[in-house]
Structure 1
Amino acid sequence: MPELPEVETYRRFLHELVVAQTITALEVHDAHVLAVDEDTLRQAVVGRTVRDTGRLGKNCFLLLDDGRVLVLHFGMTGDVGAYRDPADRPRFTRVTLYLDSGLRVAFIDPRKFGRIRLADSIETYQQAKKLGPDALDISPEQLQQKLQRRKVAVKPLLLDQSITAGLGNWIVDEVLFQAGIHPERLAHTLQADEYQALHGAIQHVLGTAIRHEATYRHFPADFLIHARQWDDSATPGTDAHRFCPRHANTEIVKSYVGGRATYVCPVCQPAPTLA
């Protein structure tokens, strides 16, 4: 599933291609991904020039010269591509934007869970979807203010897009691992230094992922992602079983927190004590 780092990579790719370009045509190959009437979308974007790109959490935006915004949400399998000749159109392209440069931009989505929308602005879209500040932009003070009174496990709170937008499941596991915080810690029990560590870990994990263009095998060796049990059939004592990257003899524990698969090092992230 495209997470914030992937979407930021898509945005940067699009930025190089579409800014200052006029959309000359719109071709819809599969209307399933449209959250707006096809004719309405065509009338809104054809003839408009893209003046900038933006991103909020997992949403990518093309800012048009009339002030409106084309919203791209990539669902589980969405991607973007570019081509010139029809024969080179990527497989599973659902919508194509034609640019006056001669390039064609493809919205690709094999499973068709992505959506293309129109919005009056990024701000109105953010309000309509009840999204919090972007995870890269939230300040330490904002993060603490949003969490410090919540008697809820910290992991589901970080996954709540109304608190901060853009943190997905593996990212939250990585953030909590890097911060040394157990995912079942109640948010209101965190101390000031732990909120600082949490904020720093968010910036570190996202910054690292974006810098490596979300190519996870290139992440630092001390990242939990290398030790996650992607294969659910893995059992202790097998080659597939994973160990903490910092404690070679400590097995990573898999459980479910807030209904989401969760990976924890019991040494790096001590379990909360019962009150």
Structure 2
Amino acid sequence: MPEIGEIARVVHYIRKHLVGRTIKTCQAFEDDIVYGKVGCSATAFAKATEGRRVTGAAQQGKYFWVTFDKPPHAVMHLGMTGWVKFNVEDTAYYKQAKEEEGKEQEWPPRFMKFMWKCAAEKVDGVDKEVVEAAFVDGRRLGRIRLVDCEADKIRQASPLKENGPDPVQDKDIVTVEWLKALMQRKKVPIKALLLDQANLSGVGNWVADEVLYQARVHPEQYCNTFGDEQIKTLHDALIGVCTLAVETLADSKQFPADWIMKYRWDKGKKDANVLPNGEKIVHLKVGGRTSAIVPSRQKKTGAVAADVEDEDADDALEEPAKGKKRKSKVEEDESEAEKPAKKGRGRKSTETNGVKEEEPDEETPAKKGRSAKATPTKAEKPATPGSRRSARTRT
């Protein structure tokens, strides 16, 4: 799903194609989840943004916003497969099939939640062409809202104020000392700490795995069991990975050749999940989340969470325990909107709007050949070792 680097990519294209432009029309489509879950509506969004001049765009972790010449401003979250598309340029950061290279994107795109249209105009003395921008979200895990405050106060308003600092935008806050204090006052697996958006903004599954791999840290070791040197190494990896992801706009072709991110996706395939140096990548599942890990590099140096499962030892995913409640988070857990869709469970990974979608960790494989239970007409006494059963009943 879009993480800190992918959101930087969205912000880049918004600045490139929309900043300084006036939104002539906004065609918005009602969605009681994408808008409704955060107290907005397509009608209100269209009314508030139509006719407004775009003055800027920025991000905090997985959130991004577009500011206008007057409030309210648009604050958005892409969820699991959302994206912002432009008719003048293909902005996708991933294409699943080679044959898609060079293929023109469909327009208007499917799964639109709104489309902004800017007419041809002069901006700072430069002629600008007609441009259309569409927010798309096939799985409806994204969120679109309006925030009524001054543009420079957005991060002090909800939902951003409830989220932790951004490791790239807020390097003056995310220091070694800050990270140490955070880790020592909690007792959770280190990966869980990194993924919690209330602690840090923007770190998702692949970024967390890359950080832990670079720091030689086991994902399930409790965060309060690390020494000062390990914390410093972890901090350096966190800042380094997030910064490069943002600077390259999530273009994996520009990532270092030894990053685990480039080799982690082919789980279960023959001759896959091996780094160039021959080290093997395995997958651990904890609490419904999958971690890619290199055991020869990521050693346990302290207490480790007890519920670790080795997915490579048993590829069959287990069904969640009945009656087990999910841990609720602030406002429909949009900060980590990585839950699988309720429909279509057990299907293989797909691609939506040109964005690769991993098979959700919580999915349960479809059970083949399920039928009504047969009731035996006669109980049969189990055979004892060494005995034989006759085909006929002896009298």
TM-score normalized by structure 1?
0.87
Which of residues 50, 53, 59 in structure 2 aligns to 1:55? 59
Aligned to 1:8: 8
Helix, strand or coil: the match of 2:24? strand
- Displacement of 1:196 in angstroms is 2.1
* Distance in 2 between residues matched to 1:31 and 1:273, nearest whole Å: 47
Residues 113-157 of structure 1, C-alpha deviation per residue, up to 9 Å, x if partnerless? 2221111323212456x2111132242232222222222211100
Aligned to 1:105: 133
- Is 1:172 the counterpart of 2:201? The answer is no
- Is 1:73 the counterpart of 2:106? The answer is no
Aligned to 2:247: 211
- Is 1:91 the counterpart of 2:122? The answer is no
Residues 60-116 of structure 1, C-alpha deviation per residue, up to 9 Å, x if partnerless? 1001222432012111111112227xx842333331012244322111223332221
Helix, strand or coil: the match of 2:207? helix
CA contact (8 A) 1:252 1:265 kept: yes
> What amino acid maps onto 1:42 in structure 2?
A
CA contact (8 A) 2:23 2:118 kept: yes
CA contact (8 A) 1:156 1:257 kept: no
Which of residues 274, 286, 306 in structure 2 aligns to 1:243? 274
* Distance in 2 between residues matched to 1:147 and 1:273, nearest whole Å: 14
> What amino acid maps onto 1:22 in structure 2?
T
* Distance in 2 between residues matched to 1:8 and 1:273, nearest whole Å: 35
CA contact (8 A) 2:29 2:42 kept: no
* Distance in 2 between residues matched to 1:37 and 1:90, nearest whole Å: 21
- Displacement of 1:211 in angstroms is 3.4
Structure with the larger helix share: 1
CA contact (8 A) 1:81 1:108 kept: yes
RMSD: 2.3
* Distance in 1 between residues matched to 2:42 and 2:222, nearest whole Å: 46
Larger displacement relative to structure 2 (162-171 or 188-197): 188-197
* Distance in 1 between residues matched to 2:189 and 2:74, nearest whole Å: 35
- Displacement of 1:273 in angstroms is 4.3
> What amino acid maps onto 1:66 in structure 2?
K
- Displacement of 1:30 in angstroms is 5.2
Structure 2 runs not aligned, ≥5 long = 89-105, 121-129, 149-153, 305-395
Larger displacement relative to structure 2 (165-174 or 134-143): 134-143
CA contact (8 A) 1:49 1:64 kept: yes
Percent pairwise identity? 34
Structure 1 runs not aligned, ≥5 long = none
Helix, strand or coil: the match of 2:158? helix
1:110-149 counterparts in 2 under 5 A? 110-120=138-148, 121-126=154-159, 130-136=162-168, 137-138=170-171, 139-140=174-175, 141-149=177-185
> What amino acid maps onto 2:271 in structure 1?
D
> What amino acid maps onto 1:252 in structure 2?
I
1:219-258 counterparts in 2 under 5 A? 219-228=255-264, 230-234=265-269, 238-240=270-272, 242-245=273-276, 247-248=277-278, 250-258=279-287
* Distance in 1 between residues matched to 2:47 and 2:28, nearest whole Å: 13
Aligned residues: 265
* Distance in 2 between residues matched to 1:15 and 1:115, nearest whole Å: 20
C-alpha spacing 1:274/1:43, structure 2 compared with 1 (3 Å): closer
> What amino acid maps onto 1:125 in structure 2?
S
Aligned to 1:266: 295
Residues 162-214 of structure 1, C-alpha deviation per residue, up to 9 Å, x if partnerless? 00011001110100001111112221122222222222212221222233332
- Displacement of 1:265 in angstroms is 1.4
CA contact (8 A) 2:22 2:51 kept: yes
C-alpha spacing 1:274/1:109, structure 2 compared with 1 (3 Å): closer
Larger displacement relative to structure 2 (38-47 or 13-22): 38-47
Aligned to 1:44: 48
CA contact (8 A) 2:163 2:200 kept: yes
Higher radius of gyration, 1 or 2: 2
